Amino acid sequence: MKPIFLTTAALFSTLVLATPISAKAENTNTVQRLVETRECSGCNLAGVNLKGTHLIGVDLRNANLKGANLEGANLEGADLTGANLTGANLTETFANGTSFNNANLTNADLSDANLHNAEVDGAVMIGTKISGADGFDINLGVGGEE
């Protein structure tokens, strides 16, 4: 009985330990694709570290960036329309001309971000931090029904 139990336990622990490594490898491949092609529409980048990354003009429409670290990233001209940025760290990002239209920015931190010409029409901004953010000519649509 012991050999069967030990074999099962060994197999189970191998599968459990392999899952985070596979998920991390998948995120690494996705990040690499994003950096190389500038396109990652609809991809899953939840929790990734993109701190200080140059993401000028990238297509991240409908991407899952929940909890991602984008601190100090250059998002100039990026399209984050419909992206999930819940709890994302966007402090000190350079987001001039960036589209956050219909994005979920719930509890995101945009402190000290540069948001000139940014578009946030229809974005969910519950609990979003914007202290120290710099911006003008921002397309901001306030919710409500007609």
**CATH number for 50:** 2.160.20.80
> Which pLDDT value is given to residue 10?
42
> Which pLDDT value is given to residue 141?
61
**SS3 of the chain:** CHHHHHHHHHHHHHHHHHHHHHHHHHHHHHHHHHHHHCECCCCECCCCECCCCECCCCECCCCECCCCECCCCECCCCECCCCECCCCECCCCECCCCECCCCECCCCECCCCECCCCECCCCECCCCECCCCECCCCECCCCCCC
> Which pLDDT value is given to residue 24?
53
The total number of structural domains that make up the chain: 1
> Which pLDDT value is given to residue 140?
64
> Which pLDDT value is given to residue 146?
42
Domain span including residue 131: 1-146
Q: For every one of its 146 residues, what pLDDT tens digit does the chain have, with 9 covering 90 and above?
A: 455 444 444 433 333 333 333 345 557 888 888 888 889 999 999 999 999 999 999 999 999 999 999 999 999 999 999 999 999 999 999 999 999 999 999 999 999 999 999 999 999 999 999 999 998 778 766 544 44
> Which pLDDT value is given to residue 15?
35
